């Protein structure tokens, strides 16, 4: 017997239709590439997205065709999220910070038929254009007068495209399991692999993200995604904000502290998301200028662990609650969030703060497991390290075009590549990437814990702990440090500082001071390069 309920597919177009109908006047504010501030609303976004869908259809784009964007966080990019996916094509968000060879590879691999891009990214597009013959149209996300000159490409203006399209386009209905968007991983080894999301997975994920134990979003919020829209569905905010009717504030391509602060303050941003370096930068800027993040109530932090000192400063100096989260491109991206439970709030203050520094607990819909060395489910003791596995309706089941082969185990669990612990309260803590954990004498040392301890030193700007070969213990930690500007720091001073913060056998065997760290295109420390560089340092 089936229930007597209406059966409507979960489609991305329903989000923007809902926002236009029920929150049509809510603002969407963008800083454009030229630095100007643009204001629109959800009703206009929905209209322009329908025009875009009409323009794509008239050019022969069909269900399942891939359409690429190489763009910053602006209202036009949001329109692509809805115009492309809403008509049944697949939105492929490309990271402009990748190496040009990687951008070229993923556009060819995706077989993108159209490329939408911001005007300041023309040099990238021209450099890869001869190698991406699959692209039929190059469309600049601007007005005709702002289209840059190109001797190599025939460029069209986005505004011309949608102006010529009619308003009578009706959003089509199709299977909710249809592919909606495509995002490639930014792995440090091998070619990037494509994660192909569905309409169904995207909407279920946005529902989970919006809940009180997630982002806690509502129409009362002003939300600024500092994390780029080309990262894992923009951390769901292009979908969750229209879902609840929250104001959106989009910072464009200006990621400096002054520009971000101007928008946070001027647009009364109450919630934002970004990697730890963003918040470290904003803390330094507001401290130097004597400013307050007075409207900001909470921020979500992921990508790498947030140093405890930064979390404490945000709360003590600005009243901002920093929420740790963990996820990856393959998890849409939310995997866990460190929001409190009654049991956590009942803990003594120091234990409560330590618990909320972990990567958190799973929202409904996802499941996690930590497994021990024998592959069994590890005890929830907060101590046993092991590989982290995850499954759920917004977790990848494989990669686009079968790259990487079969990835799930027999029970449908996805291997995250992270090493973690979990505790009796259900809180998970990432201790390392599988490839970054330091194996010393048969025991594991968490490079992240060593780094966090080092980052709490007032003279340390950046820290990375990597394994070096040791003839007796197989591997031992070497700590690579970037001191803060103008600060002098010695090896002995730092090791003396670290000694009471960790087990004696965890203490690094050596400390190396450098001016800068090698970084990936997504702002993470390139540990593979550091391991290669310092692998023989202890011989």
Instruction: State which H helix or E strand residue 222 sits in.
Output: strand 222-225
Q: For residue 24, give the 3-state DSSP assignment.
A: coil
Marked catalytic residue, from 185, 202, 339, 522 = 185
Tokens of 399: 């990669």
Read out DSSP for 430-487? Answer: EEEETTT-EEETTEEE-HHHHHHHHHTSTTEEEEEEEEEEETTTEEEEEEEEEEPTT-
Marked catalytic residue, from 46, 330, 355, 451 = 330
How far CA 298 is from CA of 77, 221, 301, 349, in Å, comes to 25, 11, 10, 19
Tokens of 88: 């049944």
Mark whether 286 is an active-site residue: no
88, 63 contact by CB (below 8 A) = yes
Mark whether 473 is an active-site residue: no
The residues with which 420 forms a beta bridge, in sequence order, are: 386, 430
What backbone phi and psi angles, to 5 degrees, belong to 41?
-150, 175
Q: For residue 402, give the 3-state DSSP assignment.
A: helix
Closest CA to 226 of 275, 158, 153, 281: 275
Q: Whole-angstrom Cα distance, residue 391 to residue 411? A: 9
Marked catalytic residue, from 111, 353, 380, 444 = 444
Mark whether 330 is an active-site residue: yes
Residues 187, 188, 192, CA angle at the centre, nearest 5°?
A: 35
Q: Whole-angstrom Cα distance, residue 285 to residue 259? A: 11
Q: Whole-angstrom Cα distance, residue 55 to residue 237? A: 25
Tokens of 321: 């609650």
Marked catalytic residue, from 289, 315, 401, 439 = 439
Mark whether 93 is an active-site residue: no
Q: For residue 196, give the 3-state DSSP assignment.
A: strand
The residues with which 14 forms a beta bridge, in sequence order, are: none
- Burial class of residue 215 (count of CB atoms within 10 Å of its CB; 0-12, 13-18, 19+): buried
The residues with which 222 forms a beta bridge, in sequence order, are: 247
Query: Helical H runs in 67-99?
Result: 75-86
Q: Whole-angstrom Cα distance, residue 329 to residue 374? A: 27
Write out the catalytic residue numbers: 185, 330, 439, 444
């Amino acid at each position: 017997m089936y229930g007597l309920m209406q059966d409507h597919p979960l489609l991305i177009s329903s989000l923007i239709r809902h926002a236009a109908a029920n929150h049509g006047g809510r603002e969407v504010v963008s800083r454009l590439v030229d630095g100007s501030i643009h204001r629109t609303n959800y009703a206009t976004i929905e209209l322009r997205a329908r025009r875009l869908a009409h323009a794509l259809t008239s050019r022969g784009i069909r269900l399942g065709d891939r359409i690429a964007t190489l763009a910053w966080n602006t209202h036009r990019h949001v329109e692509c999220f809805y115009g492309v996916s809403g008509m049944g094509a697949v939105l492929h968000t490309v990271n402009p910070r990748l190496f040009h060879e990687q951008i070229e590879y993923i556009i060819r691999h995706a077989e993108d038929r159209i490329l939408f891009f911001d005007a300041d990214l023309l040099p990238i597009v021209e450099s890869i254009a001869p190698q991406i013959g699959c692209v039929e149209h190059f469309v600049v996300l601007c007005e005709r007068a702002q289209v840059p000159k190109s001797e190599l490409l025939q460029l069209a203006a986005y505004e011309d495209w949608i102006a010529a399209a009619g308003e009578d386009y009706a959003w089509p209905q199709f299977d909710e399991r249809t592919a909606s968007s495509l995002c490639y991983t930014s792995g440090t080894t091998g070619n990037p692999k494509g994660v192909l999301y569905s309409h169904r997975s995207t909407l279920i994920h946005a529902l989970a993200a919006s809940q009180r134990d997630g982002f806690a979003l509502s129409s009362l919020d002003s939300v600024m995604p500092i994390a780029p829209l080309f990262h894992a569905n923009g951390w769901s905010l292009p979908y969750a904000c229209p879902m609840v009717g929250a104001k959106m504030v989009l910072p464009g391509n200006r990621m400096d502290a002054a520009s971000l602060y101007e928008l946070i303050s001027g647009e009364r941003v109450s919630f934002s998301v970004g990697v730890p370096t963003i918040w470290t930068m904003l803390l330094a800027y507001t401290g130097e200028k004597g400013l307050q993040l007075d409207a900001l109530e909470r921020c979500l932090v992921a990508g790498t662990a947030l140093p405890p000192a930064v979390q404490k400063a945000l709360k003590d100096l600005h009243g901002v609650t920093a929420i740790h989260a963990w996820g990856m491109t393959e998890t849409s991206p939310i995997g866990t969030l460190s929001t409190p439970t009654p049991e956590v709030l009942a803990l003594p203050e120091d234990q409560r703060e330590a618990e909320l520094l972990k990567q958190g607990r799973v929202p409904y819909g996802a499941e996690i497991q930590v497994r021990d060395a024998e592959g069994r489910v590890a005890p929830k003791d907060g101590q046993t390290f092991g590989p982290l596995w995850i499954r759920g309706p917004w977790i990848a089941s494989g990669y686009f075009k079968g790259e990487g082969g079969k990835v799930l185990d027999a029970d449908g669990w996805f291997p995250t590549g992270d090493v973690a612990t979990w505790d009796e309260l259900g809180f998970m803590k990432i201790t390392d990437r599988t490839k970054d954990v330091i194996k010393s004498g048969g025991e594991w040392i968490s490079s992240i814990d060593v780094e966090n301890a080092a980052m709490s030193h007032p003279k340390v700007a950046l820290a990375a702990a990597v394994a070096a070969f040791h003839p007796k213990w197989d591997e031992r930690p070497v700590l690579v440090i970037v001191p803060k500007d103008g600060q002098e720091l010695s090896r002995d001073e730092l090791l003396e500082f670290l000694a009471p913060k960790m087990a004696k056998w965890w203490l690094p065997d050596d400390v190396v001071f450098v001016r800068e760290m090698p970084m990936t295109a997504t702002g993470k420390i390139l540990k593979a390069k550091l391991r290669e560089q310092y692998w023989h340092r202890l011989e």
